[in-house]
Amino acid sequence: MQSENRLFDDLAKLLNGAAGTLAGMGREAEASMRARTKEWLGGLDFVARDEFEAVKAMAAAARDEAEALRARLDALEAAQRAPGGDA
C-alpha cells in the first residue's frame, strides 16, 4: 500500500513539474512573439494616432489659409481689371 502512494506521489510530482515547464515555455513563447511582432510593426512606419491628428489639423489649417489667400488674390485681380483700378 505504501508503494502505491509513493508511485502516485512521484507521478504527481512529475506531472506538476511538466505543467510548470510547459507554462514557462508558453510564457516565453508569448513574450518572444510579442517582441517579434512589435519589431515587425515598428519596421512598417506606422504613424501614432496623435501624430496623425496633428498633421490632419495642420493640413486643414493650410487648406483654410490657401482658400483665404485665393479669395484675396481674386479680389485684387478683380480690382485691377475694374475700370479705374490702380495698377
Q: What percent of the chain shows pLDDT beyond 70? A: 91
Confirm if 79 and 85 have CB atoms less than 8 A apart.
Answer: yes
pLDDT at 85: 58
Q: Among residues 58, 54, 38, 57, which one has the least CA distance to residue 46?
A: 38
71: left (phi over 0), alpha (psi -120 to 50) or beta: alpha
Largest CA distance in the chain: 121
Ordered per-residue pLDDT tens for the chain, 87 residues = 455 688 888 888 999 999 999 999 999 999 999 999 888 887 777 788 999 999 999 999 999 999 999 999 999 999 999 886 565
Phi, psi dihedral angles at 84 (to 5 degrees): 80, 15
